[in-house]
Amino acid sequence: MNQNLHLITVGVRDFEKSYKFYTETLGWKPSSASQDDVAFFQTSGVVFAIYPREKLAEDALVSPEGSGFSGFTLAYNAKSESEVDEIVTDLKSKGVKIIKEPQKVFWGGYSSYFTDPDDYRWEVAYNPFFEFDENGNLKLE
């Protein structure tokens, strides 16, 4: 298998609520490929999708029940500490639940965490060791 990641889909409990969160609160533009019960968002290099949790579980042949930490986070990498602060301030003004205020972190960066309506953890981080290419994609090497 090639070392590529093309699509991340998260199962959501209330599709309309999540759709409004991503389109109105975060300001993301859905793709024209979106349909009644699935929304696709083209990000830099990876497509992000939301889909009803029960349907996603059915497709994966697992139970839709689950609780606690899911074992993964999603992340937006900012280009400065001040960008992290600006994003978190904006999210707070929109009533988004901030679970970790922006702060210096052990690995040398600066980060904060917020949750979407389904409690998926999003990190907003500045990593001084990361670079971006001309298209805004992380460039590790």
The two structure tokens encoding residue 42: 């083209």
Give the mean model confidence (pLDDT) for residues 38-66. Answer: 87
Question: How are beta strands 98-104 and 110-115 bridged, if at all?
Answer: antiparallel
Domains defined for the chain, CATH in brackets: 1-62 (3.10.180.10), 72-141 (3.10.180.10)
| Residue of 78, 23, 11, 76 lying closest to 49 (CA atoms) | 11
Give the mean model confidence (pLDDT) for residues 107-128. Answer: 93
pLDDT of residue 141: 72
Give the mean model confidence (pLDDT) for residues 51-70. Answer: 80
82 phi, psi to nearest 5 deg: -65, -30
* Reported pTM: 0.82
| Residue of 20, 22, 13, 15 lying closest to 53 (CA atoms) | 13
